[in-house]
Amino acid sequence: MRKIVVVEGKNDYQKIKQIAPDLPVVTTNGMVSDAWLRRMGRINGDYEAVLLTDPDAAGDKIREKISDALQNVRNVYIGREDALSKNCKKVGVEHVDLPVLRETLSEFLEEEHQENITIQDLYALGLVGGSESKKRRIKLCEKLDIDYANGKQLARHLNLLQISLERIREILCSIM
């Protein structure tokens, strides 16, 4: 089963991408909404959610809510001492040294991640680079029940959800 790493915020996301640029990673943005859980639930049959939250009370609450809502979940932990900021006043995944993070996620770094939809595909479909592109993306995102995204983010979301080019074409034909 393919893996997708779940972290709390954009700084955690960027930290993971430093060691594994191709690893699928999503953020909770510090909270887990029903809409976020619904989106994750759609891919949870194909992906195992690897939870890497901050070693604090907020991280534990996020971890618990996701674990209760999704089926395929694996918890990965980083010790509090490894997650302290330089001044020891903050704690979070974003403060973990890269070698420690690499070791923590080592079993997930070997997987191959195939990207089916490229930014060039989105250009060809009129979803980026045109005067009507934003409107087309908005309608596509609404139809797929995903958050609005710019072109690069949309390609990432579509690949995570494993939505084919054929399916995107069908949707665009039905809404345009």
- At 110 the pLDDT is 67
Domain CATH code at residue 105: 3.40.1360.10
Question: Domain boundary residue among 58, 81, 109?
Answer: 109
Mean pLDDT across the chain: 90
| Domain identity same for 155 and 100 | no
Band (pLDDT 50/70/90 cuts) for residue 85 is very high
The residue range of the domain holding 160 is 119-175
What's at 124, amino acid-wise?
A
| Predicted local confidence at residue 112, as pLDDT | 54
CA distance 28 to 64: 13
- Whether residue 22 is contained in a domain is answered as yes
- My answer on whether 9 and 88 are in the same domain is yes
Q: For 25, phi and psi rounded to 5 degrees?
A: -135, 135
- The answer on 156 and 69 residing in a single domain is no
pLDDT in tens, 38-76: 888 888 888 899 999 999 999 999 999 999 999 999 999
Query: What's the residue count for the chain?
Result: 176
Q: What is the pTM of this model?
A: 0.73
Structural domain total, the chain: 2
- Sheet with 73-75: list strands edge to edge: 25-27, 2-7, 47-51, 73-75
Q: Does 12 or 46 have the greater pLDDT score?
A: 12
Identify the band that residue 23 occupies on the pLDDT scale cut at 50, 70 and 90.
confident
- End position of a domain, from candidates 87, 109, 131: 109
**Within-domain flag for 114:** no
> Using 50, 70 and 90 to split pLDDT, how confident is the model at 35?
confident
H helices present in the chain, as ranges: 10-19, 34-43, 57-69, 98-104, 106-109, 119-124, 133-144, 151-160, 165-175
Verify that 92 and 40 share a domain, yes or no. yes
- Identify the band that residue 95 occupies on the pLDDT scale cut at 50, 70 and 90: very high
For 107-122, write each residue's pLDDT tens digit: 887 655 566 889 999 9
Burial class (CB in 10 A: 0-12, 13-18, 19+), 47: buried
Residue at 92 is within a domain: yes
104 lies in the same domain as 51: yes
